[in-house]
Amino acid sequence: PTLASMLYIRILGASEIRFGGVRVGAEQPLTFALLLMLTVSGSAGLQRRELAATLWPDVPDRDRNHRLRSLLHRLRHLGAPLACVGATVSLHSAAIDFREFITVPGSIDLVRTRLASIGAILPGLAASSPALADRLDDVRDLAVGTLTRWLTAAMRLARAAGDWALVEQLARAGQEVDP
């Protein structure tokens, strides 16, 4: 897959999804949430029924299924890398920013470079239902855990190097990630 066809989700410091010249932000919460849930689920994808029930829990089955079909059609038309096989929906060629922090930093230079991309998680994104709020909290928890491990390792490097200003910046970043 080319970079142009890849779907990229930013949840650190901004809530933004980009693919093929299209931008989806927090101002489109259901579209954002659908693409986020599919990205986090990986290649296994999610069942249509589960997606529809999470996005529109108070809507009758028939209507929520129609809404999901319409949203998927609109996203496919925009160029989202969706795969729909039977009752399962998934994304191919999708990445999310916090996963760049899975591997602990090996150098102070890498810490300085990556530090600028750390910010509040999913800012401005509001959940329309308790079920969706639970899903978004799961993503936040995953991101907080990943970033906390990375920041802890980065602080060890900065302390070992005697770079106290960097240690302070990393501590502030940790407070932003997990207030």
Contact call for residues 44 and 90 (beta carbons, < 8 A): yes
- Give the containing element (helix H, strand E) for 18: strand 16-19
pLDDT tier at 3, thresholds 50, 70, 90: very low
Quick: pLDDT tens for 96-132: 899 889 999 999 999 999 999 999 999 988 888 888 8
Average pLDDT score over the chain: 90
**Does the pLDDT of residue 2 top 50, yes or no?**
no
Q: How is the chain split among helix, strand and coil, in percent rounded to 5?
A: 60, 15, 25
Entry pTM: 0.86
> What average pLDDT does the segment 35-63 reach?
90
pLDDT of residue 129: 86
The continuous run of DSSP H or E covering 35 comes out as helix 29-41
